[in-house]
Structure 1
Amino acid sequence: MGAQSSSVEGAHVVVVGGGFGGVAAAQQLKSLRLDFTLIDMRDAFHHNVAALRASVQTGFAQRTFIPYTETFGGHFVQGRVKRVDTDRQVVVLEGGRVQAADSVLVVGGGSTGVEMAAEIKTEYPDKKVVLIHSRIGLADPELLPSVRQEAKEVLLQKGVELLLGHKVSDLTELQLNVTQKNTVVTTDKGERLTTDLIICCTGLKINSAAYASSFSGSLADNGALKVNAHLQVQGFSNVFAVGDCADVNEPKMAYHAGLHAGVAVTNIANSLSGKELTSYRTGNVTMLLAMGYNDGVGQFNGLKLPRCLVAFGKSRDLLLWKSWREMEQKQP
């Protein structure tokens, strides 16, 4: 989010949330020498693209957290945003166990569920892994049909069992992400499964706690902020939304969050200097799915990529090197 003033010297930009979009925005504000503050409730950026592997590979998790202070120094403030006072233009602050399970049920066959099932089966090939999905097609519908089919083939090759066209009928009554031997799960079509661990990957829930009260008139049904072509929040010229909280019709991805940040920061700078604002335009979908450390499927600008290229480009370390580089730190 950006606070607009009549001059560059008098402007101070507040970035709420240190995810991919927030960090990209902060880095660009830093390079433009615009005054800013990055606020996040954690003390480190979480490269959550690698979170799935961190949940199955011992020792991997520590590499996915990159300290904010070493990158942004005094421009970083740790805290939870309580509300945004748009009148005064101020932000008010408030002071997985896989190893023990012999069988795992992954609920949800979108991109996250597909990657999760592949990670588990790659790291623990002897465990029984079942993926249940309410639709017949796996992964994001924005992907090419050939890419979605290839994701299905990779899962089957790895030994993941697929139960497609089924919904878990009692999901709210089940314990998730906790090993509980011989848990019985039923589907809406009467199928009964027995598993030791249930991992839910059924979709993104947007955390709107920081802004819902201040921007109630600008909220979409899913809690995201409605934005115009310049990524300005509906009804505000000096507030921008990027990443998951921006109501843009495209897959929620780190890659897109970075693109949002570039447009938002450019428009903050342009608004301060009186230049014309630029627009964000969605293009052909680019998406890479890591299917364990040794395989992957994906597409770039609408063109299907060879599996070996995705494995080399993303799956080996899940782009951790990129986040460490952008945070201007050396990976341990």
Structure 2
Amino acid sequence: MIRIKARAPTARAAVLPTVWGAVAVTYKVGCPLAQQDGLGARIVTSAVFFAVGTALIFHVRRALLRELRQARRVAGAAQSVVLRPLPSRLDGLNVAAAQLSADCGATIGGDLYEAVATEHGVRVVMGDVRGHGIGALGTVAAVLGSFREAAHDELELGAVLRRLDRALARHLRERSRAEHPSNGTHDPDNPVAEEFVTVLLLEISREGELRALNCGHPWPYLLRGTRVEPLTRVEPLPPLGPFPLPAELEARPCGALLPGESLVLFTDGAEDARDARGRFFSLPAVLRDAVHDHPLSAQTVLRTVFRALLHHTAGTPTDDVAVLVLRNDRRNVGTSGARGTVRQAPTHPEPTTHR
């Protein structure tokens, strides 16, 4: 039954070209006017064949556009499964995320993100696969699939990172065997051997305490009132793929995300974006302008960043860009600071959330 349904559109698509071809042949063979050599007869014959040719071109164009729309629907469905939309609220956090592919017409790029609420706190991953577009989709799926399981299963953030590292290594081995089946050994000249993924793992406890592990990824920005500052300036570990992880993996305490504060996670495509004059996009400046008057919802911050980014690049970024914004909308509670002291939440009123 499925095979019959699949062939039906192909059969219908061949009907009109066959009819038009039959009309042209019938006219040429059976019409007396087509057999004459006069100027008027030649003009009529040319007009007939021009009309048939034009009709065929328009038919082919319609078929191609129909196939393109179908391909985009399939790509959109794949994106919703691999890079699924995040909920707007997650365990008291206001969440907003979006991804922009550098490939024209593509809906999926080489950037990845996910946030899940677990018994260990809200765990977040942001990553960037070497390359972009459809070619990076398999690696994105492997890393995200591993994170979605490990985030719930593993007690420590370091164990989650090791699971991601093993999943990436397994994916690259399988991909290498698929692309070079005759070569049973690892080939260092194989392009797959040069693949890597930058990964940032965050854990946000119920009290807002932040712990992180970073493998070659940009540190997020912390929006604290009207200030914009990096979460930390510690040198990250190397990206996953080319180098083994260290024997000891301990998540780094990074202070706390207090009520009313936000974290902006991003991939390097944001800060590496250039305008026509070669100037880099200043993400901190855009964030400072956005929160100059009052704190904003995660959705508003996200829209502001992408609007400024598209304006800066004239709508044509050269690399994939992903941005994830987390805003602490929990009620005011005391939280432990980086040095173990108690930090009280700000006493200013909770700002109105723009959705």
Give the alignment's TM-score, normalised by structure 2: 0.25
Q: Which has the larger radius of gyration?
A: 2
Larger helix percent = 2
Give the alignment's TM-score, normalised by structure 1: 0.26
